Amino acid sequence: MKTVFEVIAEPNRRAILSLLALSEQSVGEIERQLRMTQPTASKHLRVLREAGFVESTVDAQRRLYRLKPEPLHEVDMWLAQFRRFWSARLDALERHLDRVHRHLDRSSIPAKKKSKDKATRPKPRTR
Amino acid sequence: MKTVFEVIAEPNRRAILSLLALSEQSVGEIERQLRMTQPTASKHLRVLREAGFVESTVDAQRRLYRLKPEPLHEVDMWLAQFRRFWSARLDALERHLDRVHRHLDRSSIPAKKKSKDKATRPKPRTR
DNA sequence: CACGTATATACCTAATAGAGTATACACAAA
DNA sequence: TTTGTGTATACTCTATTAGGTATATACGTG
C-alpha cells in the first residue's frame, strides 16, 4: 500500500481531500466539481480509502465519501521536526544565538547571520 | 519542476530532510548515514535543491547542504484546512454541534454521534 | 604533475502510476 | 422486467521515476 506521502503527492487526490474538508460528497459530485472522469475519481477515491484518508457509506446507488483525519494528522506530526525553522519563536532564538555568537567572536563589527567566516567551518580533509 | 508534495513523497528524500533538520551535512555524510550510494544521494539532493528544500555551500571538495524551510512551510499551510479535524478544540465544537442537533431533533433519547438516522440523509434521486 | 578524494552527471533499465475506454454491477423507477 | 443512473473495475498505453554503473569535474596533497 502507498505511504501517506505518496497518496497526497497526486494533485487530484489533494483536490478531493480539500473538497471533502468542506463536506461529504458523492462520487458524481466530486467528478463534476473537479472536472475529472468518473473512473478517475473512483480510482483516486479507492487509493484514498485504502490509505485511510476517507471512508464511504452507501446511499442507494450513490457512495458518500467523507474525510478521515488520521493520515493527514500523521503528515502533520512528521512536519513537527521542521516547525522550529519557521515558527516565530525560532526567529527570537536565532537572534539570540547570533548575539551570543558575535560575542564569542569578539568582533566589533556586527556580523550578518549568513556570514561566511572561514573560521567557523570544519577544516578540509582527506580520508 | 516537481511539486513540494512529489518531492517529499520519496522516502530517501524525507530521510535526508530529517537528517538536515539536525544539522548541515556533506554529501558523503548523508550517503553513509542513510546507506545510499553516492549518485543516489547526489540526485536526491539535486531534486531537493531545485525545489528549494535545501541549499549548499562549497567547502573545498565538499558540498555542505542545509535545510531551507519554505517548501515544508508550504505543506504545513496546506494542512491548515484539515487541522480542525484532529485538534482538541474541534472535539469541543463537535460535542456542541451534537447537542444542538439533538435538541433540534426533539429526541428524548440521546442520539449517538454516528447515528444513521435516515431522515438526515438526502433522498435518493434520478437525474 | 600525478594521484586520491568528493561530488555531479549521463546513460540504461525496470518498475509504477495515471489516464482513457469499455464493461460490469447495484439500485431504483416505471 | 426493462431502462436509466451511479459507481467500480479491467485492460491498455504512455510517461515518469528511481536505482545502478560508468564517467566527468573540481579540489587538495605530495
Spacing of C-alpha B59 from chain mean position: 33
Q: Which of A51, A58, A65, A61 is nearest to A22 (CA)?
A: A65
Who's near A12: CB < 8 A, 6+ residues apart? A34, A36, A40, A44
Report the alpha-carbon distance of residue A46 to residue B123 in Å, rounded: 25
Our measurement of CA B68 to C1' D16, in angstroms, reads 26
Strands (E) in A3-42, as ranges, are: 25-26
Cell (9 digits) for B72: 515544508
Contact B65, B20 (CB under 8 A): yes
Q: What is the DSSP letter of A123?
A: P
- Percentage above 90 pLDDT, chain A: 67
Task: Say whether B5 and A21 touch across the interface (CB within 8 A).
Answer: no
| Helix, strand, coil distribution of chain A in percent, nearest 5 | 55, 10, 30
Cell (9 digits) for A68: 478521515
What rounded mean pLDDT belongs to chain B? 81
Nearest to A82 among B21, B64, B124 (CB): B21
* pLDDT tier at A125, thresholds 50, 70, 90: very low
What rounded mean pLDDT belongs to chain A? 81
Report the alpha-carbon distance of residue B71 to residue A80 in Å, rounded: 14
* pLDDT tier at B10, thresholds 50, 70, 90: very high
Does the nearest atom of strand D lie within 7 Å of B47's Cβ? yes
Indicate whether B110 pLDDT > 70: no
Contacts of B69 in chain A (CB under 8 A): 82, 85-86
Task: Say whether B72 and A86 touch across the interface (CB within 8 A).
Answer: yes
Q: What is the mean pLDDT of residues A104-112?
A: 39
Tens of pLDDT, residues B37-88: 999 999 999 999 999 999 999 999 999 999 999 999 999 999 999 999 998 6
> If DSSP states are collapsed to H, E and C, what string results for B5-63?
HHHCCCHHHHHHHHHHHHCCEEHHHHHHHHCCCHHHHHHHHHHHHHCCCEEEEEECCEE
Contact B127, A31 (CB under 8 A): no
